[in-house]
Structure 1
């Protein structure tokens, strides 16, 4: 399935920075066992690219993307390592162009109506609304007025609970990004994700 189709169905994108190959494999194994079909590894350390390159072959059926990408060089490097999509905290024109050339879906961050519109004009597959905890669900709801076709992935501040995820989806988010709060309990990771997936699948597709 295409990435956006997966996100429209599963409504969530887990994301984390792997500390080692073993850490990446362990977390992704739990996510995949819970039913996750797309995840993001964030590029926040010098070793992330090599970890990504070694982890990628273990999950051929997973749409695995690279996040926190600020340069075209990194976008190409992660694409060569098998990244299925690229994410940035803000719109980076050089990365947007690289993703168009590759081609790979690009999710740039945005925190204002103008930024969402500019991301759309740059060819973004969807926009990562960031930081979610500052903007709140009301922003997503208001955004649908001037930009009703904007595909929004909320990141930052989403709690790994049915209530929190439901609030964002009710506001009009296509999906939510779940980071450090989701991974705070490694032993409960698979169960929490499976429960949230059950919740969003029961809700049906609203995006």
Structure 2
């Protein structure tokens, strides 16, 4: 996980993507890679997720690709078969965590309170997703947990251009997840030039 954390920390922002058409995945990956964010967390909120990941992996073998919104072992298997580097879940499900550990696949589960952090630590995890970040107390909540727990966080949910630097300034935060640079309507309508501008803006802001 240390190497994974280091790669994410270099990028600082991980685009969180819900893609409806896997045929658009390669072009999207190209836009991300060419504009400073060669990474993607493709969420399993759509049926196209696994194939989109597979298409991205085939076209861009060096790209950092994760599967998000993974809720069960079946989706873990689908994500691994598609070629992911890591898995992200919205909440902390010990069954899913243990299954990922059995399959030697890094998982970053979602937590938003001290009890969940301690449960995750009990399973040997020290890299967690803080979700949903803004509704759960935002930067102030993160600072409070950072003072107590020796873990690293990836805040996601409500992170935006207005607050991303505030989150990244928290010492326990290694990267943030965000959707604002990959809006679904621009992907659906193949407005690649507009997406490129948004991605480049993020890369420049956090550089």
The two structures share one fold, judged by TM-score above 0.5:
yes
The answer as to whether partners of 1:67 and 1:88 remain within 8 angstroms in 2 is yes
Matches within 5 A, 1:57-206: 57-124=58-125, 126-134=127-135, 135-147=137-149, 149-159=150-160, 161=161, 163-172=162-171, 173-179=173-179, 181-184=180-183, 186=191, 187-201=193-207
Match of 1:48? 49
**Partners in 2 of 1:125 and 1:31 — Cα distance?**
28
Seen in structure 2, the aligned counterparts of structure 1 residues 83 and 119 have a Cα distance that, compared at 3 Å, is same
**Partners in 1 of 2:51 and 2:28 — Cα distance?**
17
**Partners in 1 of 2:48 and 2:34 — Cα distance?**
26
The alignment of Structure 1 onto Structure 2 pairs a total of residues equal to: 197
Q: Which runs of 5+ in 2 are unaligned?
A: none
Seen in structure 2, the aligned counterparts of structure 1 residues 123 and 106 have a Cα distance that, compared at 3 Å, is farther
Shift of 1:143: 1.0
Moved more, 48-57 or 163-172: 48-57
Q: Which runs of 5+ in 1 are unaligned?
A: 202-207
Matches within 5 A, 1:29-40: 29-40=30-41
**Partners in 2 of 1:101 and 1:88 — Cα distance?**
16
Aligned-CA RMSD value: 1.9
- Normalised to the residue count of structure 1, the TM-score between the two structures is 0.86
Shift of 1:97: 1.4
The answer as to whether partners of 2:22 and 2:49 remain within 8 angstroms in 1 is no
Shift of 1:133: 1.8
